[in-house]
Amino acid sequence: MSEYIEVDQEIPRFRVNRKVMTDPAVFAVERERIFDHSWLYIGHETELAKPNDYVTRTVAGRPLILARDAKGKVRVWVNSCPHRGAMLCREPKGNARFMTCFYHGWSFNNSGEVVSIPDDAGYGAGFERPGLAAPAKVGSYRGFVFVSFDPDIVDLPTYLAGAKEYLDLVSDQSEVGMRVLPGTHEYSVKANWKLLTENSYDGYHLVSTHQRYLEMITAAHGKADISFASNSIAVNLGGGHAVMAGTPASGAALGRPLSEEAKHEKAEHFERLRQTHGDAWVDRMGGTRNLVIFPNLVVIDLVMGVLIRRIEPVTPDYMEVSAWQLVPPEEGEELHRQRLDNFLTFWGPGGLASPDDVEALETCQRSYAAQRELPWSDISRGMHTPHKGMNGEYQMRTWWRRWHELVAGEALPEEPQAPLPDFFAGQRQRPASATAEAK
Amino acid sequence: MDIAFPRIEPSVAEDSFRHGSGRSLPVARIELGGVPRGAAIVLCDAGALERDAAGFMNGLAEHGYESVAVDLSPTGGDPTGTTDRDLVSDVAVLVGRLGERGWSPAQVGLVGYGFGGRTALLATAEFALGAAVSIAPSGVADAWSDALPPLIQVARHVRTPWLGLFGQQDPGAPADVLARLGSYLGGSPAHTEVVTYPGVARDFYRDARETLAHVASFDAWQRTIEWLDRRVVPRPTPLAAEWQRRVASAARA
């Protein structure tokens, strides 16, 4: 057993040493053993609507350009001129077939080739003209684009393991393809990045942390019915990925009530989806899911909105968070308006839920200054039973087991999980055009 | 810091647009030595060739673009009844002229002012050029003539990335019409942007002492050059061409 995680199967108890939230040495090891050897989410293909569209992102500390080249192919480049290093794109998004470094004027096309070097006669005929650097691997699954800096990593579908099914449940919600809405929620948290991965599928904190939100729900619905928690489950999806999933009852309980017009449209939309995908799959689609794809991608389908959240560790006690909303573009105006309202009300940086989470995590981080007196955080909830519910912490233990395997080089003992209830095992009647393509 | 580049006097000669509107029009030319970065067609505002062409063309030359400039607006009482189809055909003639100097359409930028800006937008629906910019295009909300309807009625989705620059106080381009135009063009296969400068009139692209006007003219020119530089395919230098041949040869091997 390492100094980082202590597992006692007799009690049972699962504890994480708080030094992993503060120690720069641990942070450096995470960078090397996790972030240099995982598939990391960079963006969604629908953020690049037209040829030559690009967005700039920082992934594992590296400045990257996610672009659709002139022929429509999705590309990822290191946002650094191979000449002397200045960033080629300094805006968060744009459209350009050519990127010109403002330092010395070298110009590159979005296929990565150098196309122009000012006064190139100064280099002579034999000069090897460098193109743009790229991550070792780029892959896409249902429009979710990932990169890896490890040339020997397994392919993306293998890496995603059981998480693919939950990305399918999200992606199948549109008949024409889900799209990311323009605009990004960007905020930072003065806390270790792992605290937000835990928080992103922590069902236990809903009632205590989000009283403000539940008061709003009570006012809007006349009551706040959280009985859905008893039917919700936590599932180990393999590879450190896990999900907290609920039935349609959980979807109906959160968010402001829909107008009659919106309810009608939603019912019709789901009816059409039933024709394509079958009842079992669409019943599941109507439920909720908080999915964490190891290490730092969160996809939450809750409160009538699909949130994509990417967590970027910056220092041991500071992270940057980017979030987008994924929507069915065929949605009508009224349903769309209510989706946006629910999205902002719950998830927005100024909403009624996210700020409370940020406050909770920042106080955790501040308190870790006393880790000599209080060295352990407990993540044992639900460990005593094979029935893993959303109010337990099995999903987090799943994540921590993978973390420990990579950081400490030691596999921790697994714990038994009861078979999934039938509802959560429902499958599509016909496979959709799910494609995973290594690019 | 002002850098004084030597001014190039464009050559001006009558050119036949026999394969376009059938007119004969004066065309200004600046041809650069060495390996120019790209080529540009400048469509001047009605009656403004003599006043504007040399300045715009020298500005483009500073960034490596050789250019041709013309005023395609109907003259006098417009006895020929010039139509939008004629204007687009005239642009095709100019693209052909540049082709004679070895410029492919992707290596050509189209920059239009006023009436020329209107024509530039129409031409982008027809041609896949490197890039196009319309600066203070006229005839957006109102017809120029019976044969030249308002742009908002005749604009089509564009094939060339298009940038439209407008003065907020231009009575010919009301905000609601621009919003509709921008929204419609946003559905084009090529990227489009509409920028409106607050507090300035239609001639915002001419520099002036007043702060907003100066800022608008500076920004408009900066945006124009960046729009071209980001999209117009550069002509390779001999060394770059040799490098491309070596890379292609290595790829085949």
| Per-residue model confidence (pLDDT) at position A188 | 97
Sheet holding A107-109, edge to edge: A98-100, A107-109, A114-116
Q: Which of B230, B233, B243 shows the shortest C-beta gap to A96? A: B230
| Per-residue model confidence (pLDDT) at position A435 | 45
Q: Does the beta-carbon distance from A120 to B189 stay under 8 Å?
A: no
| Per-residue model confidence (pLDDT) at position A125 | 87
Q: Confirm if B157 and B189 have CB atoms less than 8 A apart.
A: yes
Query: For residue B203, is pLDDT > 80?
Result: yes
Residues of chain B contacting A, Cβ within 8 Å: 37, 161, 189-191, 229-231, 233-234, 236-237, 239-240, 242-243
Nearest to A169 by CA among A142, A146, A147, A145: A142
Report which residue type is found at A10: E
pLDDT band, very low/low/confident/very high, at B178 (cuts 50, 70, 90): very high
Query: For residue B58, is pLDDT > 90?
Result: yes
Least confident stretch, A354-358, B69-73, B243-247? B243-247
Q: Confirm if A293 and A277 have CB atoms less than 8 A apart.
A: no
Residues of chain A contacting B, Cβ within 8 Å: 50-53, 95-100, 107, 115-117, 120-121, 123, 125, 127, 129
Q: Which residues of chain A neighbour B237 with C-beta distances below 8 Å?
A: 116, 120-121
* Torsion-angle region of A119 (φ positive above 0: left; ψ -120 to 50: alpha; else: beta): left
| Per-residue model confidence (pLDDT) at position B3 | 62
Residue of chain B minimizing CA distance to A53:
B191
| Per-residue model confidence (pLDDT) at position B84 | 93
- What φ, ψ does residue B148 adopt, rounded to 5°? -125, 85
User: What is the Cα–Cα distance from B231 to B221, expressed in whole angstroms?
Assistant: 16
Q: To the nearest whole number, what is the mean pLDDT of chain B?
A: 93
pLDDT band, very low/low/confident/very high, at B209 (cuts 50, 70, 90): confident
Neighbours of A292 (CB within 10 A): 29
This complex has an ipTM of: 0.89
| Per-residue model confidence (pLDDT) at position B74 | 87
Q: Which residues of chain A neighbour B231 with C-beta distances below 8 Å?
A: 52, 96-98
- Say whether A299 sits in a helix, a strand or coil: strand
* Alpha-carbon distance A109 to nearest alpha carbon in chain B (angstroms): 9
Neighbours of A311 (CB within 10 A): 22
**How far are the Cα atoms of A116, A128, A308, A410, B247 from residue B244, in angstroms, in the given order?**
11, 11, 41, 50, 5
Pairing relationship of beta strands A40-44 and A144-148 according to DSSP bridges: antiparallel
- Helices A260-277 and A333-347: crossing angle, nearest 10°? 100
User: What is the Cα–Cα distance from A285 to A278, expressed in whole angstroms?
Assistant: 11
pLDDT band, very low/low/confident/very high, at B239 (cuts 50, 70, 90): very high
* Alpha-carbon distance A100 to nearest alpha carbon in chain B (angstroms): 8
pLDDT in tens, A399-439: 999 999 999 999 999 999 999 999 999 999 865 554 444 44
Q: Does the beta-carbon distance from A97 to B230 stay under 8 Å?
A: yes
| Per-residue model confidence (pLDDT) at position A230 | 77
pLDDT band, very low/low/confident/very high, at B1 (cuts 50, 70, 90): very low
Is the sign of the CA dihedral B122, B124, B126, B127 positive or negative? positive
Higher pLDDT, A256 or A10: A10
* Alpha-carbon distance A153 to nearest alpha carbon in chain B (angstroms): 26
* Alpha-carbon distance B128 to nearest alpha carbon in chain A (angstroms): 12
pLDDT band, very low/low/confident/very high, at B77 (cuts 50, 70, 90): low
User: What is the Cα–Cα distance from A66 to A52, expressed in whole angstroms?
Assistant: 10
pLDDT in tens, B32-57: 999 999 999 999 999 999 999 999 99
Helices (H) and strands (E) in chain B, counts: 7, 8
Q: Does the beta-carbon distance from B237 to A95 stay under 8 Å?
A: no
Query: For residue A291, is pLDDT > 60?
Result: yes
Q: Which of B191, B231, B240 shows the shortest C-beta gap to A120? A: B240
Report which residue type is found at A410: E
Q: Which of A98, A121, A127 shows the shortest C-beta gap to B230? A: A98
| Per-residue model confidence (pLDDT) at position A438 | 40
Q: Does the beta-carbon distance from B161 to A95 stay under 8 Å?
A: yes
Provide mean pLDDT across the span A117-137: 94
- Helices A193-200 and A354-367: crossing angle, nearest 10°? 130
Q: Confirm if A30 and A408 have CB atoms less than 8 A apart.
A: no
Q: Does the beta-carbon distance from A52 to B242 stay under 8 Å?
A: no
User: What is the Cα–Cα distance from B197 to B195, expressed in whole angstroms?
Assistant: 7
| Per-residue model confidence (pLDDT) at position A437 | 44
Residue of B163, B193, B194, B229 to mutate when probing chain A, most A C-beta within 10 A: B229
Domains contained in chain A, CATH given: 40-140 (2.102.10.10), 162-438 (3.90.380.10)
Q: Which of A50, A115, A127 shows the shortest C-beta gap to B191? A: A50
Nearest to B110 by CA among B228, B233, B202: B228
**How far are the Cα atoms of A106, B73, B148 from residue B165, in angstroms, in the given order?**
28, 20, 21
* Eight-class DSSP state of A31: I
| Per-residue model confidence (pLDDT) at position B78 | 57
Q: Does the beta-carbon distance from A129 to B240 stay under 8 Å?
A: yes
Residue of B104, B160, B195, B243 to mutate when probing chain A, most A C-beta within 10 A: B243
Q: Which residues of chain B neighbour A100 with C-beta distances below 8 Å?
A: 229-230
Provide mean pLDDT across the span B136-161: 92
User: What is the Cα–Cα distance from A102 to A105, expressed in whole angstroms?
Assistant: 5
Residue of B158, B191, B228 to mutate when probing chain A, most A C-beta within 10 A: B191
Say if residue A233 is exposed, middle or buried (CB neighbours under 10 Å; 0-12, 13-18, 19+): buried
| Per-residue model confidence (pLDDT) at position B144 | 83
Q: Does the beta-carbon distance from B230 to A127 stay under 8 Å?
A: no
Q: Confirm if A134 and A77 have CB atoms less than 8 A apart.
A: yes
pLDDT in tens, A307-328: 999 999 999 999 999 999 999 9
Query: For chains A and B, what is the number of CB pairs under 8 angstroms?
Result: 50
Domain B11-252 has CATH 3.40.50.1820: yes
* Alpha-carbon distance A157 to nearest alpha carbon in chain B (angstroms): 30
Q: Confirm if A125 and B239 have CB atoms less than 8 A apart.
A: yes
- What does the block give as tokens for B192? 């489009």
Which residue's structure tokens are 């024709």? A275
Percentage of the residues of chain A whose pLDDT score is greater than 70: 97
pLDDT in tens, B105-129: 999 999 999 999 999 999 999 999 9
User: What is the Cα–Cα distance from B55 to A130, expressed in whole angstroms?
Assistant: 37
| Per-residue model confidence (pLDDT) at position A338 | 87
Q: Which of B191, B234, B239 shows the shortest C-beta gap to A115? A: B234
